């Protein structure tokens, strides 16, 4: 398999983390989003939406969207429940992540940590709203769905564990911090690639 990716990306990290935990070897093709490498005509032929990550199978078929890639890779493994309702709950949390979490928690990190600009207050408010929803879910649960580690946890871990880089203080969310530690303690866990930006 071949993974088109940008190493500091949380969306890319989700896929790298699951591939590690599944023991799947892959070839990394780095595309620097800050140098426009995902907007070239060459890359737009790989993903017309101009985004990493993209997973390319050995037969050439390609899949975009980090959480769709997670679902594909996890299908039939211990990282995705078999039960129909539990699978839908996993998807609920992954759609929550992409719609109500990533556009604030990840975008704040990009603005503050990578572009060194101030983060608008409304964006921080929305990020805290997402963190409160997570804290509520985790108040009496070890993991997001079916009391076990799944791709729902991987999807939400990716940007939450580096939320401090976006200026989010996790002190008020002890249930979230305890869950982050549980995720990091899973076998074959790998860290995100951290980079210093100018």
Kindly tell me the burial class for residue 177, based on how many C-beta atoms sit within 10 Å of its own C-beta (0-12, 13-18, 19 or more): middle
Three-class secondary structure assignment of 85-144: HHHHHHHHHHHHHHHHHHHHHHHHHHHHHHCCCCCCHHHHHHHHHHHHHHHHHHCCCCCC
Smallest separation, CB 198 to a copy of itself (Å): 25
Smallest separation, CB 196 to a copy of itself (Å): 28
Smallest separation, CB 114 to a copy of itself (Å): 19
- Nearer residue to a copy of itself within complex by CB, 20 or 100: 100
Smallest separation, CB 91 to a copy of itself (Å): 4
Strands 54-56 and 27-30: unpaired
Interacting residues with a copy of itself (CB under 8 A)? 48-49, 51, 57, 61, 63-69, 71-72, 75-76, 84-85, 87-89, 91-92, 94-96, 98-100, 102-103, 132-133, 136-137
- Nearer residue to a copy of itself within complex by CB, 39 or 194: 39
Those residues whose C-beta lies under 8 Å from the C-beta of residue 104, and which sit 6 or more positions away, are: 123, 124, 126, 127, 129, 130
- Nearer residue to a copy of itself within complex by CB, 77 or 191: 77
- Nearer residue to a copy of itself within complex by CB, 57 or 184: 57
């Amino acid at each position: 398999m071949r993974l088109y990716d940008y190493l500091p990306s949380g969306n890319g990290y989700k896929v790298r983390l699951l591939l590690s935990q599944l023991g799947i070897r892959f070839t990394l093709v780095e595309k620097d989003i800050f140098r426009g490498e995902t907007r070239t005509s060459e890359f737009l032929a790989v993903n017309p939406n101009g985004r990493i990550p993209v997973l390319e199978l050995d037969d050439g078929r390609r899949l975009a969207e980090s959480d769709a890639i997670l679902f594909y890779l996890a299908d039939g493994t211990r990282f995705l429940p078999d039960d129909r309702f539990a699978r839908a709950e996993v998807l609920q949390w992954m759609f929550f992540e992409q719609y109500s979490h990533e556009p604030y928690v990840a975008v704040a990190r990009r603005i503050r940590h990578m572009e060194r600009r101030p983060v608008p207050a409304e964006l921080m408010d929305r990020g805290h709203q997402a963190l409160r929803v997570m804290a509520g879910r985790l108040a009496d649960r070890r993991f997001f769905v079916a009391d076990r580690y799944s791709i729902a946890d991987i999807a939400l871990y990716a940007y939450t564990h580096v939320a401090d880089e976006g200026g989010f203080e996790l002190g008020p969310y002890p249930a979230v911090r305890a869950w982050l530690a549980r995720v990091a303690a899973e076998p074959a866990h790998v860290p995100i690639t951290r980079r210093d930006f100018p």
